[in-house]
Amino acid sequence: MYALVDVNNFYVSCEKIFNPKLEGKPVIILSNNDGCIISRSDEAKALGLKMAEPAFNKKQYLKENNVQVFSSNYALYGDISNRIIQVLKSFSPRIEIYSIDESFLELSDSEFVDLGKLGNEIKKRIQRYIGVHVSVGIGKTKALAKIANKIAKKEKQYNGVCILNSNRDIDCALRNTSIEDVWGIGRQYQKFLKYNEIFTAHDFLTINDNWIRKNLTVVSLRLKKELQGTSCIPLETILPAKKAIATTRGFGKIVTNVKHLKEAVSTYATRCSEKLRRQNSVANILTVFIHTDPFSNDKYHYLSKTIHLEVSTNSQMELVKFALKGLKKIYRNDLRYKKAGVIVSGLESANNIQKGLFNDTDIKADKLLSEATDYINRKYGRDKIKLAIQGDGKEWKLKQEMLSGKYTTQWSDIIKIKN
């Protein structure tokens, strides 16, 4: 048996932990640069506010309805997510972190366990220890657990916990699950299946296996077996290393000065180097790009440069050096820039670096320096040690005018209790 635990309105729930006055009020969280709505409380949903809706189009409406608006606070959300995972590990050592707010648990020896009691205990413990509400779906397979979780979230009579164990319950759930709500069915396949009069998860089970192989994919065939109750999508307890890593950001305001572009690109290359070291990888290809605002009246320009590195690396100084070389090749002083990014690819294990014949880079010294820098920045806060070229970011950093405190990750933001 598998359980899928999903935090309700995750980003909003994180804000409510440290601000109880938000309870019962419409709350929304905005994307980078305070752009679009990416999380809504139930009260905000009731007002008709949509996901991905630009907030600037709704300024007056938000004010009239006293909607509480926050900039996205990813440092806080990431830390709360990690704390929830630690609680879930007390229920099962085998856990797959599916996303920042969703995790699969493998429930061993479930025939000896009261699944209803277990699901409610998961829900209560996370509420007590963390302060957020979750929905728990339990099923014979991951796909069925996903459907059970949707039911637990939507249908109030389940009180946040739904179990699909008996054939009767599974059949009823599949008949009432639209094909677009089936895990793994993408938008294009939804259209194709509906065109062929396949509207529900139950309809999907009636398709011939050969037809699925011919018109869909092998993964779709596995999905059919999962919906039939045969587990064939394994739990991924170890996250696979990424094949490419990107750090891209839109600027808080238009940038024209090359100095500020250098600061941004250097910072993004630094973030890529940190991510590489976390998964013990090195990269041999680096791409830097800059582009203008696609929504302005000016002509849109996208400029990029890809560089193949002689020696694969995760060194901050090496990646910054090559990123700035790429920026120099593509920068035009007659354009107004809205976004920049650095992408590293051609990833391989850091344990097997092949040094170039004519390259004099001291790999060992770079590694020791990176380890020391990472340790200090982890202990005392990001960018306590950084390259001078990164600057202070005041002219290009993200627009976050409604940012809440980093209550669990920054000493200065820890809540103080007064008498």
Sign of CA dihedral 166, 144, 211, 180: positive
**Widest Cα–Cα separation across the chain:** 71
Tokens of 324: 């700035």
40/9 Cα distance (integer angstroms):
6
Task: Tokens for 334, please give them.
Answer: 């007659």
pLDDT digits (tens, 9 = 90+) for 143-202: 999 999 999 999 889 999 999 989 999 999 999 999 999 998 888 888 999 999 999 999
Residue entry with tokens 């413990």: 125
- In order of 11, 166, 247, 394, 401, the CA distances from 406 in angstroms are 13, 45, 21, 19, 14
Question: By the 8 A CB rule, do 205 and 175 touch?
Answer: no
Residues paired with residue 137 on neighbouring β-strands, in sequence order:
4, 162
Q: What is the pLDDT of residue 169?
A: 92
Judge residue 393's burial from the number of C-beta atoms within 10 Å of its C-beta, 0-12 exposed, 13-18 middle, 19 or more buried.
middle
- The predicted pLDDT at position 110 comes to 58
C-alpha triplet 297, 304, 53: angle, nearest 5°? 45
Give the SS3 label for residue 261: helix
User: In the prediction, which pLDDT does 246 show?
Assistant: 94
- Residue in 252, 326, 249 with CA at minimum distance from that of residue 286: 326
- Per DSSP, the chain holds a count of helices (H) and strands (E) of 14, 13
Instruction: Tell me what pLDDT residue 146 has.
Output: 95
So what's the pLDDT on residue 419?
62
In 3D space, the residue among 387, 379, 353, 339 whose CA is nearest the CA of residue 276 turns out to be 353
Instruction: State which H helix or E strand residue 340 sits in.
Output: strand 337-345
Query: Among residues 77, 30, 67, which one has the least CA distance to residue 52?
Result: 30
DSSP state for residue 54 in the 8-state scheme: B
Chain centroid to CA 262: 27
Query: In the chain, what are the domains?
Result: 1-134 (3.40.1170.60), 166-240 (1.10.150.20), 245-390 (3.30.1490.100)
pTM score above 0.75: yes
In eight-state DSSP terms, residue 34 is G
> What's the rounded Cα separation, in Å, for the pair 245 and 222?
29
Q: Identify which of 76, 69, 7 has the alpha carbon closest to the alpha carbon of residue 414.
A: 76
Alpha-carbon 42 to chain mean position: 21
Give, in degrees to the nearest 5, the angle at Cα 56 between 53 and 60: 105
**CB-facing half-sphere around the CA of 147: CA atoms within 13 A:** 31
**What are the phi and psi torsion angles at 311 (to 5°)?**
-125, 130
Measuring CA to CA, how many Å separate 220 from each of 201, 205, 213, 223?
Answer: 12, 11, 8, 5
- The CA distance from 367 to 360, in Å, is 15
Helices (H), 50-186: 59-64, 74-88, 115-129, 142-154, 167-175
Look at residue 72 and give its three-state secondary structure. coil
User: β-strand 161-164 against 134-139: which pairing, if any?
Assistant: parallel
Mean pLDDT by 10 residues, the chain (419 residues): 95 94 94 91 94 90 94 93 95 92 85 83 96 95 95 92 92 93 87 92 92 88 92 83 89 92 96 94 95 89 94 93 96 94 93 72 84 89 89 85 87 79
Of 225, 205, 240, the closest CA to residue 141 belongs to 225
* Per-residue model confidence (pLDDT) at position 364: 84
CA-nearest of 91, 93, 77, 80 to 138 is 91
With a CB cutoff of 8 Å and minimum separation 6, the contacts of 364 are none
Cα 255 from Cα 250, distance rounded (Å): 10
